[in-house]
Structure 1
Amino acid sequence: MAPKYQGNVSEFIIQGLSDSPTLQLPLFVLFLIIYLFIIIGNFIIYWAILLSSDLHTPMYKFLQNLSIIDISSTSNVLPFLLHLLITQQNKISFFGCLTQLYFYISLAGSEFFLLTAMSYDRYIAICDPLHYINRINEKHFARLVSAAYCAAFVGSVGHVVLISKLSYCNSHIIDHFFCDLIPLLKLSCSDTFNVEVLNYVFGTLLSFNSFLLTLISYIYIISTILKIQSTHGRQKAFSTCASHLTCVIILYMTLFCLYVEKPIASYSLDRDKFFSLLYIVLVPLQNPRIYTLKNKKNPNGLITLQKSISSTIPVKLIH
């Protein structure tokens, strides 16, 4: 993938989060604990749904795929950061950098599209419940999930191809803790106009359209819920989408702060590090807590998983 225009660069040096030697070990311990919580929490969701036949419905399978994305996106960055913190070996090959960038963009896009599909699922369940089984059956579910993954992973190829053709002749030091798009563009000494246009178009199509579709879905959902006469009925209806709505708000707030930005030249890398860290850590860390651990019926995700493994009695993770 490395073409002749790359200025003979074979590897990059990752700056990391801090230059202070005294902070390396505390940061390593902190992020190791966070990473373990993310992996364990999302595996709880995945396996509990897999082992509980009562949860083999589109609503829960969407959640299962969201757990897979959270595990994958975190594992794409945090193990590398942990290795950097503990060994101080901050070099990454050109191909390794592009690979990390590709999966970062692809998995982020998959999460956007998947959450949009989940909002459509909640819209049908609340606004048109009589036709839910026909409109969100196994076949339609498979199409929605496949489209989410394909659109994200295919759409990300253009970024990597254009990035691979840039020249890096001034410096090979990436002022970040992983290979992200904007730091690579700022590092390049060649014209980045094509990449910036692609990033703007792809970002607009991805984030804005996903946001718009999600917003429209929730306008109809809230409108339908407000028409329900009983307070209990409104609370029950809203509880079916409250967890998803919370995750959507966290995701969009984080990524809008990250990428809804002015020109590349005015981009703040310190700010980029902060919000990148929030996105990589906060969203996967919050999803298990929001969907399972705070649930009133099953407050302990570990107990839920244990019951799922040890018996065939279905368990409920979310209302």
Structure 2
Amino acid sequence: MTAGNRSQFSPDTFQLMGIPGLERLHVWIGIPFCSMYVVAVVGNVTILAVVRAERSLHEPMFLFLCMLSVTDLVLSTSTLPRMLCLFWLGARDIAFDACLAQMFFIHSFTAMESGFFLAMAIDCYVAICEPLRHATILTHGRIAKMGALVVLRGVAFFCPHPILLRQLPYCRTRVIAHTYCEFMAVVKLAFVDTGATKQYSLSVASVIGSCDGFFIAFSYVLILRAVFRLPSREASLKALGTCGSHVCVILVFYSTAVFTFLTHRFGHSVAPQVHIVIANMYLLIPPFLNPIVYGIRTKKIREHVLSSLKINCS
């Protein structure tokens, strides 16, 4: 293929369709989406500010929570503002390079989110099952290495995605049947056979998700076994309440992600609007819930936020 012929198959822009069949409701759908985004930004920024300001919170749990908050901010900001422009302003066009960049941020930071959930599960396990060795096992150096490993994994596995899509010719419709540039939605527009490209993406997602999910589940099984052995009933109930809220957030993240994955692979009969709404949920709900579950329900953070509010009001 010559350079001249190649250029005509490389689009300058794509068009985002939004949620097929629900176009008339886009304005109303944008309201709860915007509300969740505002809560996610305010909540995660608050967590970062509180932990940074209070040295007593420079512990493994809160350091991992800060990593999760940064991931949530990037993940939600890479999708929500552009999605609201589509819903409220009808701005459907997105530049090809911007589309590839958005796709990379979405998939790589979703993998990082999964990795930080695993890191926090490991921290919870060590804190409950090995409380006397917690500080010596999870030193600041090891925490930094765990965080760097999670970030490098997300970047390394999903950096090929935009590179692969840039090489493909596009001469079909340039309308993406989605609210954002999701890999499988974009690759369907290519002119050539993309079986190997799809298989790579699905394999990477399945390996990362299944490995993280298995070790998270294994960690919480050990945690629950240790909790039920605690001599104090009050301590057991408190630990169960904390673990239960954490598990709920993780289940929301993984259940919606698994549904989206299985829909791409097997669920061709699933209505497009159902698929796209749930695909949005696993990008919107965790950044919205994480500050509430890990922040407000955490006593130390809650006390520091309330004390700051009292000082400002006085």
- 2:289 counterpart letter in structure 1: Q
Match of 1:290 among 289, 293, 297: 293
- Give the superposition deviation at 1:33: 2.6
Match of 1:272 among 271, 275, 284: 275
CA contact 1:73–1:107 (8 Å) conserved in 2? yes
Q: Does 1:109 align with 2:111?
A: yes
> Residue in 1 aligned with 2:130?
128
Q: What is the alpha-carbon distance in structure 1 between the residues aligned to residue 7 and residue 195 of structure 2?
A: 16
Once the two structures are overlaid, the 10-residue window that deviates more, 192-201 or 28-37, is: 28-37
TM-score of the superposed pair, with normalisation by structure 2: 0.88
- Give the superposition deviation at 1:307: 5.6
> Residue in 1 aligned with 2:80?
78
- 2:295 counterpart letter in structure 1: T
Match of 1:164 among 163, 166, 169: 166
RMSD: 2.7
Match of 1:306 among 295, 304, 309: 309
Once the two structures are overlaid, the 10-residue window that deviates more, 10-19 or 26-35, is: 26-35
5 Å-filtered alignment, 1:253-272, equals 253-261=255-263, 263=265, 266=268, 268=270, 269-272=272-275
CA contact 1:159–1:198 (8 Å) conserved in 2? no
Once the two structures are overlaid, the 10-residue window that deviates more, 150-159 or 99-108, is: 150-159
> Residue in 1 aligned with 2:198?
196
Q: What is the alpha-carbon distance in structure 2 between the residues aligned to residue 308 and residue 123 of structure 1?
A: 36
Q: What is the alpha-carbon distance in structure 1 between the residues aligned to residue 8 and residue 261 of structure 2?
A: 25
SS of alignment partner, residue 72 of structure 1: helix
Match of 1:66 among 49, 65, 68: 68
Once the two structures are overlaid, the 10-residue window that deviates more, 204-213 or 40-49, is: 40-49
- 1:231 counterpart letter in structure 2: R
- Pick closer, same or farther for the CA change 1:6–1:130 going to 2, 3 Å: farther
CA contact 2:202–2:261 (8 Å) conserved in 1? no
- Pick closer, same or farther for the CA change 1:248–1:36 going to 2, 3 Å: same
The alignment of Structure 1 onto Structure 2 pairs a total of residues equal to 309
Q: Does 1:245 align with 2:247?
A: yes
> Residue in 2 aligned with 1:314?
none
CA contact 1:16–1:177 (8 Å) conserved in 2? yes
Once the two structures are overlaid, the 10-residue window that deviates more, 100-109 or 18-27, is: 18-27
- 1:26 counterpart letter in structure 2: W
CA contact 1:5–1:165 (8 Å) conserved in 2? no
Once the two structures are overlaid, the 10-residue window that deviates more, 200-209 or 269-278, is: 269-278
Q: What is the alpha-carbon distance in structure 2 between the residues aligned to residue 188 and residue 267 of structure 1?
A: 22
Once the two structures are overlaid, the 10-residue window that deviates more, 172-181 or 49-58, is: 49-58
1:167-208 Cα offsets, whole Å, 9 max, x none, are: 221110001111001211222231111212211221122100
Q: What is the alpha-carbon distance in structure 1 between the residues aligned to residue 256 and residue 101 of structure 2?
A: 23
> Residue in 1 aligned with 2:234?
232
Instruction: Provide the identity percentage.
Output: 24
Q: What is the alpha-carbon distance in structure 2 between the residues aligned to residue 164 and residue 291 of structure 1?
A: 39
SS of alignment partner, residue 266 of structure 1: coil
- Pick closer, same or farther for the CA change 1:206–1:74 going to 2, 3 Å: same
Match of 1:176 among 175, 178, 199: 178
- Give the superposition deviation at 1:302: 5.7
Q: What is the alpha-carbon distance in structure 2 between the residues aligned to residue 17 and residue 131 of structure 1?
A: 50
Once the two structures are overlaid, the 10-residue window that deviates more, 73-82 or 33-42, is: 33-42
